[in-house]
Structure 1
C-alpha cells in the first residue's frame, strides 16, 4: 500500500482563507497525490491515461471530417448535370466519397463514445481502490498517534477533514487526467486556427482571463468557508447521531430531547446554509458577467470568419471547421483555466490529508529498544512522576513515588479526579510523564519497544468499546493473533464468567451483539462488561489492569469478578480500580490518591487502623448497605 507522504505544510490563517502564495504552494500536494494513485494501481492508471490520449485527438478529427463532408456535398450539388436520383448517384459513384466520409465520422463517434465509457470504467475502479487504500492508510496512521492527539479538538477537526478527503478527492484525479486530455485537444485545434488566423488565439486568451481569475477567487472562498465551518459541521454530525441512535434513544425519549436536538440542528444547519447561499449568489453573479466577456470574444471571431467566407477566402466547410474549432477551443481553454483553478482549490483540501499524515507521534519506540523482560522480575517504580494534560495548568498527578512489585495486586482508591485513571494511562504508556520517570525492572519505560510493552499489558477501562461484532470477535480482539483460537476465547469467557452469557445466545460465539446490524442481540451493561473483561483475560498479559470495568455490575457480581481476578492473577502484576471498597480490600496493597498525590498506602487492615481518608470513605460506603 502507498506509504509516501508530503512534507508538513504551512498552516493557513486562522480564518482558513489561504493567501495567493498558499494556493500556489498547495499545488505541491499534486505530486504525492499522483504518486499515491500510481501506487494504488499502475495498470489502471496507464489505462486511464492511454485511453484519454487517444480520445484527445477525436474532436478535431471529427470536426475536420465534418468540414470535408460539407465541402463534398457542395461539390456534388455544383456538378454540371445536377443532382441525380439516389439510385443513379449511388450506381455512378458520385456519392462514394461522401458516403465514405459519413461512415468515417460515424466510426469516430462510436469510438469516442466507447473510449469515454472505458475511461469512466477505469476511473471508477481506480477511484474505489484509491479510496480503500487511503482509508486504510488513514486508520494505520491514526493508530500511531498519541492519545493526547485524539483529545485535542484542533486535531479532531483536522482528522475530520482528512477523513472526508479520502472519499472526496478522487474527482481531482479525473480533473487532472482530463486536463491532460483537454490540453492535447487544445493543441490540435490551435494548429488549425494558426494556419488560418493566428490572431484569433490571442483574442481567445484575452477573453478568458477574467473568468479564470474569478473562478480562482471563488474557489479560495469556498475552501475558506469549509475550513471555518469544520467545528460546526462536527457539531452537526454529533447532533444528528445523538438524535437518532440506539445508544441515546432511551434518554432522548424519556427527557423529550428530540425537540432540543432538532432545534439545535436546525440552527446550525440554517447558519451554514445561509453562508453557502451568500457565496453561491456572488459566484453566480460574477460568473455570469465574466463569462459574457468570453462570449463576446467568440462572436467577434465568428464575425471575422464569416466575413472572410463571404469574401471567398474560406469555403463553407472552412467556415464550419473554423467556427466549430474556435467554439470548442474557447470551451476547452475555459475548461482548462477553470479546471486549473479548481485543481488549485482541491490541492488546498489535499493539505488537510497530507498534513494529517505528516503528524508524528511523540510517544514512540526507541531506535534500539531494550528486550522486554520475560518475565517481569522487579516491577514498576514511579520516581517523582508528574503529569498534566495538554493545555491544562492543573497537575493531574504529581510527586508520585511508589513501587508496583512484580506479582503484586495493587488497588487504587480515591474520589473522582484523584488521578487513578491517569496513573494507569502512564503505566500503559498512553502518556509519558512531564516530570520524573517510570522504571520497569530498572530501565526507563521509554527504553522498551512500545508494541512489546502493550502486548504484555492488558487494560480494560470503564468506557470500554462495545464492538458490534460477534461475541468471539469481541473477546478475540484482546489478542489479535489468536482471534481464530476458539478454545482460547472460550477459556477467557469462562475466566470472566461470561460463558453463561454466551450459552444463552442463539448463535453462541458466532452471535453478533449490539443493535447496529441485522440479527444483532443487545446485552445488558453488566453482560457487556463481562465480555470486555474476557477480552483482558484473552490477552494473557504479564500486567493486568482493570479500571472500573465492573461499574454496571451489582456488588455481589463485582466481588465475584474481582475474587476470580485475584485468583487468576497469580504471578501476574495487577492493578484494579473500583469505588466499592468491599472489592478492593482483597488487594495485596491499596494506594489512596487525593488530588493527584499519594495520601496513604497499605493493606485494608492497615489503612483501617490508621483511621484516615480510606477508613472514612469505607465507613461511609458501608453505612449505605446497613
Structure 2
C-alpha cells in the first residue's frame, strides 16, 4: 500500500499554497495480471478447458474419490442413454407416419422404440438428480480443501512478506480463488454433461446426414467467441477494481471496529470517512458499468451472428428433406438432435467461459500456494538446541519502500543467563533487532548466528520453537486460559508447568478469579467467554512466554499495561527466569533496565552506546543519560495568583 498525490503534476507550489493531500492507493510492483488477462483468446480457452476440468477433478479426487468416480460414471451413462433415446426416436416415428390412420399393428411396431425412449428419458432424469447431489456433496469440500491449502501456504511465508506492498493483494486474489473454487467442479460437471450430450447427439446427427454437424458447429462459434470475450472483460474488471475493493474493506474496518469506534465518534469523523467510502465505491461502480456494457455489446453481436448461422442450418435441413436426402422420420430425429447439439455447444461455450474465468481466479490461488505470495520460507534443515550465544554480525535490514535501513551495520551478542536491554527513541530499530535475533526476520546483509550457525541454515519452525516473544501487540486468542498459555503445545508437566508460568507472570491471580479456572474460555462475551482487562491479558501473554521451552526470550514493552505492583513482581523474578535463557528486553521505561546486565542504545538503526547501567549513567553527554534525565525530571509548579502556591514544596511536580 502506497500513497500518491492526488495530482500527477509535480509543478512547484506557489508561495503560500498548500500541497494536495496524498491519496491512499494500493500499488503492487511487478503486477502484470491485467496485461496477462488481456492476452486471453478463444484459442487459449480451448487449450485451457481440459486442464481446468482435470484440475477440478483432481481437487475432487483429494476430498472424495468415490464421489468423483460416481460423477464421471453418471455423465458417461447419461450420454449413452441420450444416444439410445435419439436413435429410438426414428423407430418410434416411422411406423406412425406411414399412413393417415394409426393401426394397432403400427402401435405395436413403435412400442419397442417408445419403451427405449421412455426408459432413456426416465433414467436420464434419475442420473441428473444423482449428478446434482454428487456436485452438491463435493463443492463445499473442495472449497474447504482449497482454503486449507491457502492457509497452510500463508503460514509458510516469511514474516517480512507482510511488509511487502504486493503480498496482501496477492493474498486477496488467492482468497477470491478459494471463493470460486466451490463452483469449479459444478461448472466442469456442466461442461462434461454438455459434452456427453453433444457427442451422443453428434453421432446421431452424423448418421442422419454428415453435412449437418459441421454446419452446426460453425453456427455455435460466434456465441462461443462472444462468451470468452465477455468472461475476459469481467475478469479484467475484477482485477482493476480489486485495489479499490480492498480500500473499501479497510475503510469499513476503521468505521466500525471497536478499537477506533470511540475516536470516530469523539472526532466526528463518520461523515468524512463515509464520503471517502462513497468516492471509492463510485470508482468501482464506474469500472463495473463500463465492463458490463462492453460485455453486453459483445454478447449481443455474438447472439445476432449465431442466430443468422442457425437460420442457415435450418435452411440446409429443409433443402435436404426436399431433395429426399433424409426421410421425414429421420427429420424428427434430426430436429431433436440439432436442438441437443445446439444446446451442447452453447453449454460448452457458456459454461466454458465461466469455467475459464473461474480458472483465472484459481491460477491466483495456485500461484500463491506454490510461492506463498512470492515469500515462501526457504531456509536450511538444521534444528537448533536452546542457544548459548545469539550473535548479530554487521547486520543491515531495510523494510520495502523505506527511505533508509531500519538497522545499519549492527553487531551484538546475547548469552544465556544474561539480560540485554535495547533502548532508544521511537524508530531507532529496537523491535526490528529483536525480531532478527529471534529469526523472525533474516537480515539483508551480515548474519545472525545461534551458537555459530547462521539462522538462514536453521529450520525456521524448529528455531521458533526455541523462541518466546511477548510483543507490544499480543494476541488475545479466543481459547481457554490453559490453551492461551500453552498455545496448544502442553509439556509433560501439564498444568503444573502452566501454573508455574502463570505464577511467574503474576497471572495466577487472574486464573483464580476465572469462573472455571484454566478451563475458562477467554473471549468476548458474545462468543460465550469471559473478557479480561488489558493488564490481565498482558499477564497471560507473559505466562505463555514463560511456559515456552528454554531458549531466547524477547520482551517488547512487557509491562506497558501493568500496574506498579504487577510490574515490580515481573522484574524482580526476571533474573531467575534468565538463568536458562538468553533474554532481550525492549522498553522505554528506563527505570526497568537497571536489572539488565548490559544496555544497548540505538539511534536511527545504529548502536551508539553499549555498557552496564552504571557505565551509561556515568556518560553525562550520552543519549541514555539524556533520556534518563528526561524521564526522571520534575520541574515547574502550579503557580498561585501573584506567587507560588501556599504550602507547596519546591520539589512538588506540576499539575497540568
TM-score by length of 1: 0.87
Q: Choose the corresponding residue for 2:161, options 149, 166, 170.
A: 149
In structure 2, the residue matched to 1:211 is: 223
Look up the match of 1:432.
Answer: 442
Question: How many Å separate the matches in 2 of 1:620 and 1:29?
Answer: 68
Could you tell me which residue of structure 1 aligns to residue 19 of structure 2?
A: none
CA distance in 1, matches of 2:581, 2:202: 79
Aligned to 2:475: 465
How many residues of Structure 1 are paired with residues of Structure 2 in the alignment?
601
Find out whether 1:364 has 2:378 as its counterpart.
yes
Q: Does the alignment pair 1:285 with 2:304?
A: no
Q: Summarize the alignment of residues 509-520 of structure 1 with structure 2, pairs less than 5 Å apart.
A: 509-515=518-524, 517-520=526-529
In 1, the alpha carbon distance for the partners of 2:309 and 2:595 equals 89
Among candidates 419, 423, 428, match of residue 433 of structure 2: 423
Output one character per residue of 1:544-577: Cα deviation in whole Å (capped at 9) or x when no partner.
1111133222344333323333332223211111
- Displacement of 1:197: 2.7
TM-superposed CA distance for 1:485, in Å, is: 3.5
Instruction: Answer with 492-501 or 442-451: which moved more.
Output: 442-451
* Residue aligning to 1:3: none
SS in 2 for 1:410: strand
1:18 aligned onto 2:28: no
Q: 1:316 to 1:23 in 2, by over 3 A?
A: closer
How far, CA to CA, are the matches of 1:124 and 1:541 in structure 2?
50
User: Is 1:243–1:252's contact at 8 Å kept on the other side of the alignment?
Assistant: yes
Match of residue 79 from structure 2: 56
In 2 relative to 1, CA 426–176 (structure 1 residues): closer, same or farther, beyond 3 Å?
same
Shift in alpha-carbon separation, 1:472–1:106, aligned structure 2, 3 A = farther
Contact 1:16 1:227 in 2 (8 A): no
Residue of structure 2 equivalent to 1:380: 390
**How far off its partner does 1:292 sit?**
2.5
Q: Equivalent residues in 2 for 1:91-490 (5 A)?
A: 104-306=116-318, 317-359=329-371, 361=375, 363-367=377-381, 369=382, 372-374=384-386, 376-377=387-388, 379-477=389-487, 480-482=489-491, 485-490=494-499
Deviation (angstroms), 1:269: 2.3
Q: Structure 1 unaligned runs (5+)? A: 1-9, 84-88
* Partner secondary structure for residue 381 of structure 1: strand
1:332 shift after superposition:
1.0
1-structure distance, mates of 2:475, 2:237: 35
- Kindly indicate whether structure 1 or structure 2 has the higher relative contact order, using CA contacts under 8 Å at least 6 residues apart: 1
Give a deviation string over 1:262-301, Cα, whole Å, max 9, x none. 3333322232123222222222233123212223333343
Cα deviation, residue 308, structure 1 = 5.3
Inter-partner Cα distance in structure 2 for 1:316 and 1:182: 27
Q: Deviations over 1:409-444 (max 9, x none)?
A: 111111110110011111011222222222322333
SS at match of 1:153: coil
Measured after TM superposition, the shift of residue 133 of structure 1 is: 2.0
Q: Structure 2: how far apart are the matches of 1:331 and 1:409?
A: 76
**In the alignment, structure 1 residue 602 sits paired with structure 2 residue 611:** yes
Deviations along 1:120-146, one digit per CA (max 9) or x if unpaired, are: 222222222222222222122211211
- CA offsets per residue over residues 326-369 of structure 1, 9 Å max, x none? 122112112223433443333322221121122264753325x3
For 1:583, the equivalent position in structure 2 comes to 592
Deviations for 1:291-332, whole angstroms, at most 9, x for unmatched residues? 122233333433444565577765554333211211221121
Match of 1:530 among 531, 536, 539: 539
- Counterpart contact for 2:95–2:107, Cα < 8 Å: no
Can you list the C-alpha shifts for 1:189-211, whole angstroms capped at 9, x where unaligned? 12222232322222222222222
User: Which runs of no fewer than 5 residues in structure 2 stay unpaired?
Assistant: 1-29, 635-651
User: In 2, Cα distance between the equivalents of 1:569 and 1:29?
Assistant: 57
Question: 1:94–1:348: structure 2 CA closer, same or farther, 3 Å change rule?
Answer: closer
TM-score by length of 2: 0.84
Q: Distance in 1 between matches of 2:498 and 2:582?
A: 22
Mapped partners of 1:471, 1:205: distance in 2: 67
